Structure 1
Amino acid sequence: MFSSGDPSLCFPNVNNSCSRLFRPRSEAALLYTLLAFVSLLTVMLNLLVIISIAHFRQLHTPTNALLLSLAASDLVVGLLVMPIEGLRYLETCWLLGRLMCALTPYVSYCLVSVSLAHMVLLSVDRYVAICDPLLYSSKVTVANVKIWISLCWLFSLLYNGLILKDHLAQPERFSSCQGECVVVISHLSGTVDLFITFLGPCAVIVVLCMRVLAVSVSQVRVIRSQTTAVAAGGALTAKRSEWKAARTLGVVIVAFLLCFCPYFYPSFAGEATSTSQSYFAMLSWIMLMNSCMNPLIYALFYPWFRKAVKCIFILQILHSRSREVKLL
């Protein structure tokens, strides 16, 4: 007689199957709805950033090229990482097979590294703009920034391939039963990774931001002390514009650090990093939510983003000369 197996298992007809956590239907429906909403919101918001910067010619600046690449990274988080990680923790079973078990952590780790690298580049961009404004246009060009962005993505792919080479080769080596996808990074590798992809970049970011803040305050005080109203007024307006840009990116960086610091808790605590740890899901989702927060910060602090979104929603971007619309 045919037997359907034990329904409490991830794979009822497999003897070595993991157990499945059953949730009440109403709870499961609520959690899946929340997951779909957050993922869709993250994708839509970052898609608006990408369309805005790519379409409007006035927004083709070095700083916005970095924001465009960062938005592309965040869009992948919302499109792939959030749904897969949500499915893992809601089902408490890995149902996507061996190949996806190998690739999913790799993609997630790459996006973490890319985001950190972009924060460093944004800090450098603001540092040069504030501290060396006369040479900014020659040192920081869109072409140069595109090269650095490409190097960030390439380094991330190679570095995380090295960190996760054992997992990529044997994705099921730490699984105790069928229906698990466990990633374990040793304490030594986790410590090295902590310094290379977190503490080192964070130190650079903090130092540059403090320097930008000190120089900005000093420049505004000097301009305000001048008596030539017209010249000083024009310069003050320019400096205020740079200061507002630096302040907005400062908010982005602070939000980024607040979301990413908990993710590295195991390394700080001297433990191996494992996706099977009870608190890992919470740390992971705190980090992932940063991908949804960035466009919201742009909407609050960047008038050009709000204007661009308005043009998109009223379909003004379909007009032949919409690329030349003035947003700044």
Structure 2
Amino acid sequence: MQVQYCFETMNKSCEKNNWSNNIRIPMYVFMISTILATMAGNLAVIISIAHFKQLHTPTNYLILSMATVDFLLGCFVMPYSMVRSVENCWYFGEIFCKIHTGTDIMLSTASIFHLSFISVDRYYAVCDPLRYNSRINSFTVLAMIITSWVLPAIFAFGMIFLELNIKGSESYFYNEVSCVGGCFVFFSETSGIVSSMLSFFIPGIVMICIYGKIYIIARRQARSIKDSTNQIQFRIDLNVKQNGSRCKERKAAKTLGTIMGVFLICWSPFFFSTATGPFMSYSIPPIVIDAFVWIGYLNSTFNPMVYAFFYMWFRRALKMILFGKVFHFDSSRMILYYE
């Protein structure tokens, strides 16, 4: 089969994928479906939390911010990645390539920052409920959200525009990887380890430890609740109220723990390959790396599905959005769940 190039008239142009329509069309259908599902699902989460006053809680504000991250990923990153993945060509210019790559890394990193702060929120809610309201207040949540956006932005765009990601492997990159019409997510040995540690491994380990402790405390509380069933009658109502609150907090922790697990499963292949690929002489095929990127993107698609599965309030809010009831007078005060 004759080799085709992204830009036939330019020297050192990248080779274009010679896939038949039997491969190209299903890829476009899958990726477009993923993009639309990501945008629609996360937009529903954003509208639900922003519109209904009952959902204006610290945890939900963090979820709202994280849904915004996922929505922006679906809007501004995934469509261009789709063309690059199917065609193996970048038609949008070198400067926009850097903007796209920086935005991709920023939003991916911002997701795990949000999850890290959500795990801290759940820790205080379950393990230290008496001091939860004093520690996780509006100012604290705002600081968490700003940190989750600003630090990943500085890290991602600083690394890409200063070309720190190729530092130490410049010769290999420009001689073996770089070509006209390409936009590659490339990391040297040092930058691959640093990026993976800061964006994934360190926050991931911290979250696993926090949720492990939450699980242990929750089990201890469950045993305490079971033992308390034989206490005297006048304390029953108080125990029921306290135990109901604890059950709600544990369910929220379980839900967000599932979200964290989905994140780790989706992004682990990409970050493992990013950290180890440079030490294996970049022997992992580009098509495999590209597949790992899209598996990571699927995390942004799955998050709203997790909310729909676990949260009754989201299913009710989604129903009201779909039927246009959010446009009714005073709909923002609708009770979606009972305490």
Instruction: Tell me the TM-score normalized by structure 1.
Output: 0.92
Does the 8 Å CA contact 2:116/2:206 hold for their aligned counterparts?
yes
The whole-number CA distance in structure 1 between the counterparts of 2:225 and 2:106 is 44
Preserved contact between residue 56 and residue 325 of structure 1 (Cα < 8 Å): yes
For 1:184, the equivalent position in structure 2 comes to 186
Shift of 1:270: 5.9
Q: Distance in 2 between matches of 1:115 and 1:277?
A: 24
CA distance in 1, matches of 2:100, 2:274: 21
The alpha-carbon deviation at position 164 of structure 1 amounts to 2.1
Counting only pairs closer than 5 Å after superposition, residues 1-328 of structure 1 correspond to structure 2 as 8-167=4-163, 173=174, 176-226=178-228, 227=231, 228-269=235-276, 271=278, 277-328=286-337
- In the alignment, is the contact (CA less than 8 A) between 2:45 and 2:304 conserved in 1? yes
Is the deviation greater in 252-261 or in 276-285?
276-285
Name structure 2 gaps, 5 residues minimum: none
Range with greater deviation from structure 2 (160-169 or 232-241): 160-169
Post-superposition Cα deviations, 1:61-120, rounded to whole Å, max 9, x if no partner, equal 000011001101101111122111111010111111111111111000001110110111
* Residue identity in the other structure for 1:259: C
- Cα distance in 1 for partners of 2:112, 2:136 equals 19
The answer on whether the counterparts of 1:65 and 1:142 sit within 8 Å (CA) in structure 2 is no
**Contact kept in structure 1, 2:13 and 2:180, CA below 8 Å:** yes
Q: 1:267 deviation in Å?
A: 4.3
Query: What's the secondary structure of 1:280's corresponding residue?
Result: helix
Cα distance in 1, alignment partners of residues 117 and 249 from structure 2? 16
Distance in 1 (CA, whole Å) between partners of 2:131 and 2:80 is 45
What TM-score results when the alignment is normalised by the length of structure 2? 0.89
SS for the counterpart of 2:163 is helix
1:3 aligned partner: none
- Give the counterpart letter for 1:236 in structure 2: N
Contact 1:224 1:236 in 2 (8 A): no
Contact 1:127 1:212 in 2 (8 A): yes
Contact 1:52 1:309 in 2 (8 A): yes
- Among the aligned pairs, what percent are the same residue? 33
Aligned residue type for 1:184:
F
- Choose 217-226 or 206-215, whichever is displaced more: 217-226
Structure 1: runs of 5+ lacking an equivalent = 1-5
Q: Which shows bigger deviation, 229-238 or 105-114?
A: 229-238
Structure 2: how far apart are the matches of 1:168 and 1:218? 47
Tell me if structure 1 keeps the 8 A contact 2:59–2:118.
yes
On the 8 A contact 1:223/1:235 being kept in 2, the answer is no
Taking the aligned partners of 2:20 and 2:200, their CA distance within structure 1 comes to 39
Answer whether contact 1:167 1:183 (CA < 8 A) is retained.
Answer: no
SS in 2 for 1:185: coil
**SS class of match (2:179):** coil
Q: Is the 8 A contact 2:165 2:187 kept in 1?
A: no
What displacement does 1:125 show?
A: 0.4
Give, as a single letter, the amino acid of the residue that structure 2 aligns with 1:210. G
Task: Give 2:39's aligned amino acid.
Answer: V
Q: Assess if the C-alpha contact under 8 Å between 1:102 and 1:167 holds in 2.
A: no
Following the alignment from structure 2 to structure 1, what is the Cα–Cα distance between the partners of residues 205 and 34?
A: 31
Deviation at 1:204, TM superposition (A): 1.2
Quote the Cα distance in structure 2 between the aligned partners of 1:249 and 1:44: 20
